[in-house]
A = this chain, B = another copy of it.
Amino acid sequence: MTQARRSRGRPPAGDGHDRRTALVETARRQFAAKGFAGASLRSIAAEAGVDPSLVNHYFGDKQGLLVATLELPIDPLAKIRSALAGGTDGLGERLVRTFLSSWDPHREVFATMARTGLGSADPAAAPVAEVARAVLVGSLLEVLEGPDAELRAALVGSQVVGLGLLRYVAVVEPLASAGVEEVVALVGPALQRLVDG
């Protein structure tokens, strides 16, 4: 987590760190209670006692706030957007390479996150499902084109999630120990088919 910057020219209602923390803790509670779609930025800001505009200031947008509630060792939204920045050309390989090189150093965190997110039948207690939906699939939708872009975005997301599950959670060999570029060379072109449609 980067240190929150003070919002300029706004009368401080508590210091920046306090307000950022209040937003994250309130958002975590409201996302759990109402789901990602059900909790509005306005209601989160109101309960946290801060101005709604501070959400954009600290987190960029609602997806960024969701990611902040997970306290992850990496910023998946920034990683995905860097992979997407090059457009759809070669996107399959870039997605796999970005995903594996981001999570390989944090295998245990991924496994814990997956278990926490999937271990409950209560969708409201499933932040991983929300991340898969809002962050991964939502970001892909910004670049995929065509009439079935939403379905293909979800399918690309499913393949990336499945890769993480067998590599980090179920630890199925030889996938768990395979080199990143070996997996990229095999899965990249398969994902590219879904990207291109």
**Which partner residue on chain B sits nearest A178 by CB separation?**
B151
Chain A positions 143 through 163: 1 when the CB is less than 8 Å from some CB of chain B, otherwise 0: 000001011101101111111
Given A115-B118, A118-B169, A162-B163, is A197 in contact with B191 using a C-beta cutoff of 8 Å?
A: no
| A100 vs chain B, min Cβ distance (A) | 12
Docked Cα-Cα span, A126 to B119, in Å, equals 12
Q: Are B119 and A170 interface neighbours, CB within 8 A?
A: no
Docked Cα-Cα span, A128 to B171, in Å, equals 12
* Residue A165 lies at the interface, judged by CB distance under 8 Å to chain B: yes
Q: CB-CB < 8 A to A163: which residues of B?
A: 155, 158-159, 162
**Which partner residue on chain B sits nearest A117 by CB separation?**
B170
| A178 vs chain B, min Cβ distance (A) | 5
Q: CB-CB < 8 A to A193: which residues of B?
A: 186, 189-190, 193
Q: Are A155 and B126 interface neighbours, CB within 8 A?
A: no
Query: Does more than half of chain A's interface fall in helix, strand or loop, or is it mixed?
Result: helix
* Residue A50 lies at the interface, judged by CB distance under 8 Å to chain B: no
| A149 vs chain B, min Cβ distance (A) | 10
Identify the stretch in A9-17, A68-76, A129-137 within 8 Å (CB) of chain B at 4 or more residues: A129-137
Q: CB-CB < 8 A to A128: which residues of B?
A: 170
Q: CB-CB < 8 A to A171: which residues of B?
A: 123, 129
Identify A175's interface contact among B114, B120, B155, B169, CB under 8 A: B155
* Residue A85 lies at the interface, judged by CB distance under 8 Å to chain B: no
Docked Cα-Cα span, A155 to B159, in Å, equals 9
Identify A132's interface contact among B150, B161, B170, CB under 8 A: B170
Nearest first, the 7 closest Cβ-Cβ pairs linking A and B are: A162-B162, A119-B119, A129-B170, A154-B175, A158-B166, A158-B162, A190-B190
* Contact surface of A with B, Cβ cutoff 8 Å: 111-112, 114-115, 118-121, 123, 126, 128-129, 132-133, 137, 148, 150-152, 154-155, 157-163, 165-167, 169-175, 178, 182-183, 186-187, 189-191, 193-194, 197
